[in-house]
Amino acid sequence: MKTYKVGGAVRDRLLGRAVADVDWVVVGATPEELIALGYKPVGRDFPVFLHPRTGEEHALARTERKIGRGHTGFSFDTAARVTLEDDLRRRDLTINAMAETEDGKLIDPHGGKRDLDTGVLRHVSPAFVEDPLRVLRVARFAARLGFTVAEETLALMRGISASGELGTLSPERIWSELERALGEQAPRRFVEVLRECGALAAVLPEIDCLFGVPQPERHHPEVDTGVHVLLALDQAARLSPDARVRFAVLVHDLGKGLTARDAWPRHVGHEDAGARMVETLCARLRAPRDFRELALLAARFHGHCHRAAELRPGTVVELIERTDALRRPERFELFLLACEADARGRAGRAERPYPQAGRLRLARDAAAAVAAADLVAAGVTGAALGDKLRQRRIAAVAAVLAPPS
């Protein structure tokens, strides 16, 4: 029995990146033999075992076969003993198909080290096409590492996209890759790579259709809505590591994809239309509730936030109420970050200040400082209590936002 460190742990060590989890492949053993040695079996799809001392995952070397449209299964040949080379050959990318012996010797049959050094994402074998999820994985690795995709790999990805196989992926698998990609260093690369191979139209058609849709040049020097979304996503990545903020920015302008061509470049009412599209997209991908809620706020109210200096105190209080900023101040902060990313995500405006966020924070704090206790003590109840409280909050907001005399 021989044990090899494999996959991401080897790749990240060679890149000089922190290694979070270490995976091992075991060659020359059966599940029964590992159990006899004290390994604890886990996982249902293929035999994975936890080391009795370190708790690290050890998987038996395996080969891969397609068992149905859009599905991948694993086979085990315990008679012929699947080799390490067999196991590495089934992996998606050369940079993930390297192994190390227990004494640190690199085993690299597919040139993964060369591709790491040159910054290229390249498939290992033609079996790449057997799992359509690999299209999204390649795009995610591009977002993580900033690598380019080899032309021959891009050709396979285009073939998968054209085949309709992406339509067989479950919402959970798509969302998992999207969420992870949004948390990477350059999330815009995920969108760019998917668009380049034709996959964006299959998995996120609401985003794909934004490219080529013009906006007023006065507000958007970049003009193209899709380009704006990518620029805003850059700013979201710069402002916050939170994937919820980045998702909200990704989908904040979906409504512009519905504007009739004869109305271009204006997009009247795109906020409400976009919010409805966000609801549909999140339902389709089964996005978590906190992602959906923040995305809806950004879609509906980013315009209000940008016009904060023009809003009357009553409208500001209404915005605070509709965003539930008093009860959920942390989410309100994420909303402000998403709006700031939108404002900065325009050609030549990445460094512009965004005083609107500070103005709305002042207003929220002033409104939050107005307590209902004295009104209740004075006997005010029911609808009258809500009216009086709102009037006082409007007055408090007007006071803090009033220009100095």
Question: What integer pLDDT is reported at residue 74 of this predicted model?
Answer: 46
Is residue 28 in some structural domain?
yes
Q: How many domains does the chain have?
A: 1
Is residue 290 in some structural domain?
no
Is residue 6 in some structural domain?
yes
Full strand arrangement of the beta sheet holding 23-27: 40-42, 48-50, 57-60, 23-27, 2-6, 99-100, 106-107
Question: What integer pLDDT is reported at residue 44 of this predicted model?
Answer: 65
Question: What integer pLDDT is reported at residue 47 of this predicted model?
Answer: 73
Is residue 261 in some structural domain?
no
Report how far apart, in Å, the C-alpha atoms of 264 and of each of 22, 111, 351, 358 are: 52, 49, 28, 32
Which CATH number goes with the domain that contains 99?
A: 3.30.460.10
Is residue 327 in some structural domain?
no
Question: What integer pLDDT is reported at residue 405 of this predicted model?
Answer: 66
Mean pLDDT of the chain: 93
Give per-residue pLDDT as tens, 24-42: 999 988 888 899 999 998 8
Determine the structural domain holding residue 64 and report its residue range: 1-118
Torsions phi, psi for 132 (to 5 deg):
-60, -20
Is residue 8 in some structural domain?
yes
Q: Which of 338, 356, 370 is nearest to 274 (CA)?
A: 338
Give every CB contact of residue 402 below 8 A, 6+ residues apart in sequence. Answer: none
Is residue 271 in some structural domain?
no
Give per-residue pLDDT as tens, 88-126: 998 999 999 999 998 999 999 999 999 999 999 999 999
Is residue 186 in some structural domain?
no
User: Which of 70 and 223 is assigned the larger pLDDT?
Assistant: 223
404 band by pLDDT with thresholds 50, 70 and 90: confident
Sequence-ordered alpha helix ranges (H) in 52-110: 84-89
pTM over 0.75: yes
Q: Indicate whether 168 pLDDT > 90.
A: yes
